[in-house]
Amino acid sequence: MLAPKSVAATLAITGLIAWVSGLLWGVCFVGVPTPDPTPGMEASEAFHLQVSGWLMAGGSGALLGSLTVALLARWRQGAGGHPTG
C-alpha cells in the first residue's frame, strides 16, 4: 500500500501540472477573442475554451483531493485514529 504522503504529493503535482496546462492552453489557443470571428473561428475558440476549462477543473479537483488525503492521513496519525480535541 502506498503511503498517504506520497499519494497526496503525487496528486498535488499532477493537479498543479493539469491546472497550469489548462491555463496555458487557454492563453495560447484562445488568448484575446477575435472581434469579428467567422463561425469556424467561433467554434474553434469554444472548443479550446472548453478544453482549457476541463484541464483546470481536473487540476483543481486533484489539488483538492491531495489536500483531503493529506488531512485524512494527519487525522489518522493523531490519537490512534481518533480526532484530537
- Within 10 angstroms of residue 42's Cβ, the number of other Cβ atoms is 12
Each residue's pLDDT tens digit, 20-50: 999 999 999 988 888 899 999 999 999 999 9
61 domain residue, yes or no: yes
Matching residue, cell 483531493: 65
pLDDT at position 2, please? Answer: 74
pLDDT at position 85, please? Answer: 47
pLDDT at position 40, please? Answer: 95
User: What is the domain range of residue 54?
Assistant: 16-75
DSSP string, 8-59: HHHHHHHHHHHHHHHHHHHHHHTSSPPSS--HHHHHHHHHHHHHHHHHHHHH
Given a cut of 70, whether residue 61 has pLDDT beyond it is yes
Per-residue pLDDT, averaged over 53-72, amounts to: 94
Domain count, the chain: 1
4 domain residue, yes or no: no
Given a cut of 60, whether residue 84 has pLDDT beyond it is no
